Amino acid sequence: MPADDEESWVIRLLAPPAAALPPEVRVGIGDDAAVLADGRVLTVDTMVEGVHWDARSAPADVGAKLALVNASDVAACGAVPTLALLSMSLPNPVDRAWVEGFAEGLREGLAACGAALIGGDTTRSAGGVVVSLTMLGQLQAAPLLRQNAEVGDDLWVSGTLGDASLGFATSAPEGLRALRRPTPPLALGPALAARGLSRAAMDLSDGLATDLPRLCAAAGVGAEVWPEALPASDELRASGADPIPHQVGFGDDYQLVFTALPARHDDLLALGADLGLRLSKIGRVTQGPEVTLRGHAWPRSWQHFPGPQ
Amino acid sequence: MPADDEESWVIRLLAPPAAALPPEVRVGIGDDAAVLADGRVLTVDTMVEGVHWDARSAPADVGAKLALVNASDVAACGAVPTLALLSMSLPNPVDRAWVEGFAEGLREGLAACGAALIGGDTTRSAGGVVVSLTMLGQLQAAPLLRQNAEVGDDLWVSGTLGDASLGFATSAPEGLRALRRPTPPLALGPALAARGLSRAAMDLSDGLATDLPRLCAAAGVGAEVWPEALPASDELRASGADPIPHQVGFGDDYQLVFTALPARHDDLLALGADLGLRLSKIGRVTQGPEVTLRGHAWPRSWQHFPGPQ
């Protein structure tokens, strides 16, 4: 992932003005996924050897993760994954065992999220392996959009934060599992949308410190996060490490951050119980543009596996 | 592009059995694009620095070509391009001038084919630049599918073949233009479908010697091609080179090969006149599995820019 300002710059450079989009497009570039008028959503995510994984990674984990992180974007809009297209760039000669392992993991990941692979393209790579998945999904209710966050909303997150970070830093077993095979709460986004409990959500792929300002910028709001309310796993609590940098600075959580009216607090706890998911209120939406972590500075985002340069 | 057998192997490995596809999918992996029951088509194509272009290539040409080769796949199914999603992997630090040039060309290419960019993802690359575009299109008539080729059909191609090949080999100016900025006949596929003139088509990206056997394999048929009927540009004719290797062995033609009933010969010539396109009958569909070039051996496919190894 390039530094955040570079990503924003590339995306701004490429995004056509909203007025230039055809009427079938409700939301274009800038949310977790594009949203069409017929309720389809579309997203694409890419993983790069030497950036998102390295030789220590099992190829099946890479395949499964590629499916799951795309499904996480689809579900963050409130949609259910349906279809996928894969593009693979492979060095010559092809490492067949690696590709077979990757394909097995991709099948597992697609099965776990209920999406069918309908298209594929393979090209030769001049460097390492690059895999890119486009995923489609279907909404059954109004989409959850970053731009819908409103001043006065509560901020919630699902699950626990910082586990993949701890796994990366210390090889803690649960954390390594979270890093290698994320388990995004795919039922949550569609349920929030169906029950009308939230209008704005985003999945945490780059860490709360990077992702929450993106959500706030899309809505023209700010946010205040209460560090003591950030959910931590028993493993992270027991590690002795300061949990905050892990919880907000690394990413790969693939949990949802979402907004809700304060009056829906009990309904959200009931939904969490129904889905078997921990849901935690972690702060509130404020007048913009500041996004603050009460009593702390936001840690700088961490890089993934260091690459050349 | 890996050797053809490797590409087939990867795709076979990944493609779910047709029976496992949801009912909204009419055609999955194996044609130019996937086809949905609502008439949407979807395809993905990737271009890799050092494989599909090198330092001599203008970034705007890379961007335009990425849009046009995807649109060529969409149109080969008989559909009109509508929407696109881009994934870019960029080395760190980002070469901003290159990305700006690429974006300008991509915008030009998307405008030329009538598609709007609705999604984007950027990641860091550990090697060179990799760009991948997913394109959607919409059918207004029955799709043109490789599997629909039937014994007794005539074989036709649009335009001229071998120009990009000549440009690559000799830097002939028209050929270089064709190599850098292909001009796929995007109106042809939809017109063939709307007029009921063809049921099977494919775009020529890897050369007739590679692509025609793919079409025949999908339909369980063979083909006989008449070398003297292969259309050549004035530049290729004047070059003094044996035209056949250029016309069938290199690719990057982005013309359509399609089948038609012999009785529709005059209707096809009329369609070509309406669209301002040269359409040439180049052979016929036969009992399989042989795909022959009458009086010649098929030249081996050429590789694109040589990469490491």
The pLDDT value given to residue B8: 67
A179 and A253 housed in the same domain: yes
The pLDDT value given to residue B32: 82
A253 and A287 housed in the same domain: yes
How close does chain A come to B65, measured CA to CA in Å?
Answer: 15
Picking from B110, B139, B168, the residue at the C-terminal end of a domain is B139
Residue A271 has pLDDT above 70, yes or no: yes
A118–B42 CB contact, under 8 Å: yes
Picking from A139, A171, A195, the residue at the C-terminal end of a domain is A139
Residue A183 lies inside a defined structural domain of this protein: yes
Residue A286 lies inside a defined structural domain of this protein: yes
Q: Which of residues 96-125 of A touch B (CB under 8 A)?
A: 96, 99-100, 103, 106-107, 116-125
What's the whole-number mean pLDDT along residues B182-196? Answer: 97
What's the whole-number mean pLDDT along residues B214-243? Answer: 95
How close does chain A come to B270, measured CA to CA in Å?
Answer: 33
Residue A12 lies inside a defined structural domain of this protein: yes
A259 and A157 housed in the same domain: yes
Residue A126 is nearest to which of B34, B128, B136, comparing CB atoms? Answer: B128
The pLDDT value given to residue A179: 93
Residue B122 is nearest to which of A10, A21, A121, comparing CB atoms? Answer: A10
A108 and A158 housed in the same domain: no
Which chain A residue lies closest to B53 (C-alpha atoms)?
A126
The helix/strand/coil state of A151 is coil
What's the whole-number mean pLDDT along residues A57-65? Answer: 96
Tell me which residue has tokens 């830097």.
B171
Residues of chain B with pLDDT > 90: what percent? 81
Residue B83 has pLDDT above 80, yes or no: yes
B269 and B153 housed in the same domain: yes
User: Is the pLDDT higher at A48 or at A8?
Assistant: A48
What is the residue-averaged pLDDT of chain B? 91
How close does chain A come to B267, measured CA to CA in Å?
Answer: 33
Residue B176 lies inside a defined structural domain of this protein: yes
A33–B119 CB contact, under 8 Å: yes
The pLDDT value given to residue B241: 93
What's the whole-number mean pLDDT along residues A108-128? Answer: 92
CA distance B183 to B235: 16
A165 and A270 housed in the same domain: yes
CATH number at residue A79: 3.30.1330.10
User: Touching check for B194 and chain A: CB below 8 Å?
Assistant: no
What is the domain range of residue B285? 146-293
Residue B307 has pLDDT above 60, yes or no: no
How close does chain A come to B209, measured CA to CA in Å?
Answer: 18
The pLDDT value given to residue B30: 78
The pLDDT value given to residue A6: 64
Residue A7 pLDDT grade (very low, low, confident, very high; cuts 50, 70, 90): low
The pLDDT value given to residue B297: 78
Which of A248-262, B20-34, B80-94, B156-170 shows the lowest mean pLDDT across its residues? Answer: B20-34
What's the whole-number mean pLDDT along residues A210-216? Answer: 93
Residue A300 lies inside a defined structural domain of this protein: no
pLDDT digits (tens, 9 = 90+) for A235-258: 999 999 999 999 999 999 999 999
What's the whole-number mean pLDDT along residues A136-160? Answer: 97
DSSP letters, chain B, are: ---HHHHHHHHHHHPPPGGGS-TTEEE-BTBSSEEETTSEEEEEEEEEBTTTB-TTS-HHHHHHHHHHHHHHHHHHTTEEEEEEEEEEEE-SS--HHHHHHHHHHHHHHHHHHT-EEEEEEEEE-SSS-EEEEEEEEEESSPPP-GGG--TT-EEEEES-SSHHHHHHHH--HHHHHHHHS----TTHHHHHHHTT--S-EEE-SS-HHHHHHHHHHHHTEEEEE-GGGS---HHHHHT-S-HHHHHHHS-----EEEEE-GGGHHHHHHHHHHHT--EEEEEEEEESS-EEETTBPPPPPPPSS----
pLDDT digits (tens, 9 = 90+) for B96-141: 999 999 999 999 999 999 999 998 889 999 989 999 999 999 999 9
Chain A partners within 8 Å of B7 (Cβ): 122
Residue B288 lies inside a defined structural domain of this protein: yes
How close does chain B come to A134, measured CA to CA in Å?
Answer: 7
The pLDDT value given to residue A1: 34
A40 and A111 housed in the same domain: yes
Beta strand segments in B130-248, E:
130-139, 154-158, 201-203, 221-225
CA distance A230 to A159: 10
A114 and A159 housed in the same domain: no
Which chain A residue lies closest to B40 (C-alpha atoms)?
A40
A215 and A131 housed in the same domain: no
3-state helix vs strand vs coil in chain B, percent to 5: 40, 25, 35
Residue B309 lies inside a defined structural domain of this protein: no
Residues of chain A with pLDDT > 90: what percent? 81
The pLDDT value given to residue B29: 86
The pLDDT value given to residue B237: 96
B2–A124 CB contact, under 8 Å: yes
B194 and B96 housed in the same domain: no
Picking from B84, B114, B139, the residue at the C-terminal end of a domain is B139
Chain B partners within 8 Å of A55 (Cβ): none
A93 and A157 housed in the same domain: no
Residues of chain B with pLDDT > 70: what percent? 94
Residue B5 pLDDT grade (very low, low, confident, very high; cuts 50, 70, 90): low
Residue B301 has pLDDT above 60, yes or no: no
Q: Letter for the amino acid at A57? A: S
Residue A4 pLDDT grade (very low, low, confident, very high; cuts 50, 70, 90): low
Give the ipTM of the model, two decimals please: 0.90
How does B102-112 read in b/e, with b if 16+ C-beta sit within 10 Å? bbbbbbbbbeb
Q: For residue A222, what are the β-bridge partners? A: A286
CATH number at residue A272: 3.90.650.10
Residue A8 pLDDT grade (very low, low, confident, very high; cuts 50, 70, 90): low
CA distance B40 to B28: 12
What's the whole-number mean pLDDT along residues A135-140? Answer: 97
What's the whole-number mean pLDDT along residues B89-93? Answer: 92
Peptide bond into B289 cis (omega under 30): yes
Residue A297 has pLDDT above 60, yes or no: yes
Residue A307 lies inside a defined structural domain of this protein: no
Residue B286 and residue B155 in contact, taking contact as beta carbons nearer than 8 Å? no
pLDDT digits (tens, 9 = 90+) for A84-114: 999 999 998 989 999 999 999 999 999 999 9
Residue B38 pLDDT grade (very low, low, confident, very high; cuts 50, 70, 90): very high
Residue B7 pLDDT grade (very low, low, confident, very high; cuts 50, 70, 90): low
B159 and B130 housed in the same domain: no
Residues of chain A with pLDDT > 70: what percent? 94
Interface-testing mutation among A38, A44, A96, A99, with chain B (most B C-beta atoms within 10 A)? A44
CA distance B281 to B264: 11
User: Touching check for B43 and chain A: CB below 8 Å?
Assistant: yes
Residue B305 has pLDDT above 50, yes or no: no
Q: How many domains does chain B have?
A: 2
